Structure 1
Amino acid sequence: MRVPQIERDLGIEILATRTPGFGGSIKQTPEDFIVQEILVDGSKAEIQPKQHVSVPLQGKGRYLICLLVKRNMDTLLTVRKIAKQLGISERRVQIAGIKDKNAVTAQHVSIENIKLAKLERLRGEGFQVHPLRYSPNMVFPHMSFGNIFIITIRDIDSSYMSLQTRVSKIAHELHVLKGVPNFFGHQRFGTIRPITHLVGRAIAKNNMKEAALLYLAKQSSHEHPQSREVRQQLRETLDFKDALRTFPRRLLYERLMLSHLAKNPKDYTGAFKRLPQRLSRLFLQAYQSYLFNKMLSQRVTQKISLTEPQVGDYVIRTDRYGLPTRSHLKATHGNLKDLRKAVKENKLCLAIPLIGFRQTTSDGHQGEIEQIILEEERIAPTDFRVSINPKMGAGGGLRAALTPIIDLETKKATNDNLNVGKKSLTISFTLHRGCYATVVLREFLKPDNLIESGF
């Protein structure tokens, strides 16, 4: 089945299911895409909290744990706004993960050494912060179990019977597969302008000028016409002072880099240092994600199992919650039988490397796949150590090749109240942290044009 070129450009070259999709569109309104974070202790961040928290707050510690609910807001920009309004460093505002922008999302956030009275004066268009409790520990990524997704798919041109048949068949195929290939979704690379992996590739090759110009000046046919125009002008003139004047205010991160380059036109490394550390690290991580997607695609294309380890494969241990850990083994002729048994018992899961300066390739057949891709890219694991800006480096690691889809449910299709003559369908499921809802949704919709379909 044909995969759109935009996905192939991100390393996603296959579909896991064969049943034709039913089309449609997601995210026509932010309320069509609801994300609610779950912590490993069972705490759930809800869009509409069921009850008000009593004052004084329970717990002790220097971290105030809050519920952050945002609508159509970028996560990192929201954190930035919270810190600015409170007059504190962004480092004192910590989250477990980045959530979708064009959505309504609820997640936990910790704010260090802040008085409750000061928080109560916090006001922001598009987001709300509700205090929950005090804690001696800040929020960090490994506190998260995952996310509950409640998604309304609209503009479906199908009969009720055909729609229900396709939904059932695709869900059955995914059940037989025991999940979905754990690709990094296109949000990892930029929703409208998927270029972060290209910037990361240039950084890995120590070409900071190319990296900066890709980020600042590479156009996308899907972005605002004004943005395309100013990027093209910068590409042609390399006039950073003029670009700082003409780039619209909404391109906040680009303007941060331009403000440096306007004064230091050859200091491209310094320009990247103006970005928030969370963002600057995303570039090499996005390139790792692109390589992972290609390696996973090739494994599936070559019909190598995602649930049965082969000699040379990495496997990682799972914790009591079923989440992958950092503890890993490599399959050999001597331990292969035991590892396959442990995978069936959900004690281990098959993994593919996120190539970095601490993480090398697999062995065996999977290792051959990975080596070919690295040779085609002309890249080596050591290239992910950025000597001129070590904070941007990426050590790498391992990522599960397959992720389970927990509590997959669909509601009965109805007439779409936003698109006359079309159907809408609500689907819900839970995914482990770091996994992408759009990777599941693409199996159901199988869109020809991801951007037009709301992805």
Structure 2
Amino acid sequence: MRVEDIKIVPIGYFKTKLSPYYLLGNSFKIVVRAISYTKAVIRQRIENVVKEIKALGGVPNFFGHQRFGTIRPITHLVGKAIIRGDFRRAAMLFLAKSYPFEHPESRTAREELYRTQDFRKAMKAFPKHLYYERLMLKHLAKKPHDFKGAFKTLPIKLRILFPQAYQAYLFNKFLSRRIASGLPLNAVEAGDYIVKIEVTGLPSERFREIASREKLSEINSAIASGKMCLALPLAGFRQRLSEGFQGEIEKQILEEEGITLENFKVKGMPELSLKGGLRTALTALKDFKVEEISKDPFNPRKNMVKISFTLYRGSYATIFLRELMKPRNPIKAGF
């Protein structure tokens, strides 16, 4: 295998097929450049953020900005349209919704398609690098009303990303609204979901239940000792919402979105249906270390810092970096 800037080193043999199930987490080494603060201030600010995160019990386990598209955040919008069975809207969002930060040639082609709805003409205008859009356009040029068929020209691994992105968007809203409501992330209330934390540090796939009022003290003691964790639903046709106040938050958000859990059983394209599940509200920050604070050779009169850390699988390094860096412009920062 030859991929630029990637080196693969064999470490041994495995008896079964490798899958994400066997992944514990990901280790990161990050360089943050062009920092205006002094070395002492940089170190103090990092220490303050990490101390706050450790006191909370981890980083809020949001899905990262890139899950929805950084330059052109439409993945979850397409997913919502698919969930609602509106394949025409889904296709036009994917093909024709433009954003100011994408390449001008791409933006112009999308805007022209939005105005004309002419798929044959769009085939000539869309740049070659928009490979998947061109696959759909080729189908629509022949069958201009078959939007479902146009989506089926895309690989299943790409198509499933759309409803999964909307599922992630809903989770982020559940978590955001909980924080805004003043509910804790490192403790549970009656009606909240809890999951057991395995010795590996990963949440158990087997032990998940709703916290009862009678067991709150016992459960919160287990959370404080790292044996359990608050979890929130990943929406799906088999996943019940939380109960109690958190459940009311989730119901309100689904009502605002005009969505029911049954919608995740996608009619007309069942392979994109999502059963749902649970995701921990916090993710642990492991092995954090400030490797070096020094002058930035690429930015005169600025400093840089090298950090390293590990996150369990499924968690986003960019979420921690946002806590650390507080980027004012997510587009420019890339997260």
TM-score, length-normalised on structure 1?
Answer: 0.71
AA of the residue aligned to 2:122: A
Q: CA deviation at 1:145?
A: 0.6
AA of the residue aligned to 1:188: R
Q: CA deviation at 1:131?
A: 5.5
Distance in 2 (CA, whole Å) between partners of 1:281 and 1:454 is 23
- Does the alignment pair 1:255 with 2:134? yes
- Does the alignment pair 1:386 with 2:269? no
Is the Cα–Cα contact under 8 Å of residues 317 and 324 in structure 1 kept in the other structure? yes
AA of the residue aligned to 1:436: Y
- Does the alignment pair 1:190 with 2:69? yes
The residue that corresponds to 1:290 in the other structure is: 169
Distance in 1 (CA, whole Å) between partners of 2:29 and 2:153 is 36
Distance in 2 (CA, whole Å) between partners of 1:219 and 1:365 is 38
Structure 1 residues 138-149: aligned runs within 5 Å? 138-149=17-28
Residues 386-429 of structure 1 deviation map (CA, whole Å, 9 limit, x = unaligned): 11001111111000001110011113321111222221111111
156-165 or 405-414, which deviates more: 156-165
The residue that corresponds to 2:232 in the other structure is: 352
414-423 or 198-207, which deviates more: 414-423
Alignment match of 1:450 (pick from 320, 330, 333) = 330
Distance in 2 (CA, whole Å) between partners of 1:126 and 1:268 is 38
- Does the alignment pair 1:337 with 2:217? yes
Q: CA deviation at 1:214?
A: 0.5
- Does the alignment pair 1:376 with 2:256? yes
Query: Which SS does the other structure have where 1:219 is aligned?
Result: coil
Is the Cα–Cα contact under 8 Å of residues 199 and 212 in structure 1 kept in the other structure? yes
Q: CA deviation at 1:200?
A: 0.8
Query: Which SS does the other structure have where 1:197 is aligned?
Result: helix
Distance in 1 (CA, whole Å) between partners of 2:319 and 2:129 is 28
Q: CA deviation at 1:326?
A: 2.3
Structure 1 residues 139-178: aligned runs within 5 Å? 139-178=18-57
Alignment match of 1:231 (pick from 85, 91, 110) = 110
Structure 1 unaligned blocks of 5 or more = 1-121
Query: Which SS does the other structure have where 1:173 is aligned?
Result: helix
Alignment match of 1:305 (pick from 180, 184, 199) = 184
Distance in 2 (CA, whole Å) between partners of 1:158 and 1:291 is 37
Structure 1 residues 187-226: aligned runs within 5 Å? 187-226=66-105
131-140 or 192-201, which deviates more: 131-140
Q: CA deviation at 1:367?
A: 0.5
- CA-atom RMSD in angstroms: 1.6
Is the Cα–Cα contact under 8 Å of residues 315 and 329 in structure 1 kept in the other structure? yes
> How many matched pairs?
334
Residues 108-145 of structure 1 deviation map (CA, whole Å, 9 limit, x = unaligned): xxxxxxxxxxxxxx555565666555544222121111
The residue that corresponds to 2:157 in the other structure is: 278
Distance in 1 (CA, whole Å) between partners of 2:204 and 2:28 is 23
Q: Using a 3 Å threshold, how does the CA distance of structure 1 residues 124 and 297 change in structure 2: closer, same or farther?
A: closer
Q: Using a 3 Å threshold, how does the CA distance of structure 1 residues 130 and 252 change in structure 2: closer, same or farther?
A: farther
Q: CA deviation at 1:242?
A: 2.0
Q: CA deviation at 1:454?
A: 3.2
AA of the residue aligned to 2:170: L
Distance in 2 (CA, whole Å) between partners of 1:258 and 1:127 is 34
Query: Which SS does the other structure have where 2:297 is aligned?
Result: coil
Distance in 2 (CA, whole Å) between partners of 1:293 and 1:144 is 23
- Does the alignment pair 1:414 with 2:294? yes
Distance in 2 (CA, whole Å) between partners of 1:125 and 1:337 is 52
Query: Which SS does the other structure have where 1:418 is aligned?
Result: coil
Is the Cα–Cα contact under 8 Å of residues 70 and 334 in structure 2 kept in the other structure? no
Q: CA deviation at 1:208?
A: 0.5
Residues 241-264 of structure 1 deviation map (CA, whole Å, 9 limit, x = unaligned): 222222112212212222222222
Higher helix share: 2
Alignment match of 2:194 (pick from 265, 290, 315) = 315
Q: CA deviation at 1:378?
A: 1.0
Q: CA deviation at 1:164?
A: 2.0
Is the Cα–Cα contact under 8 Å of residues 326 and 398 in structure 1 kept in the other structure? no
Structure 1 residues 109-128: aligned runs within 5 Å? 123=2
339-348 or 313-322, which deviates more: 339-348
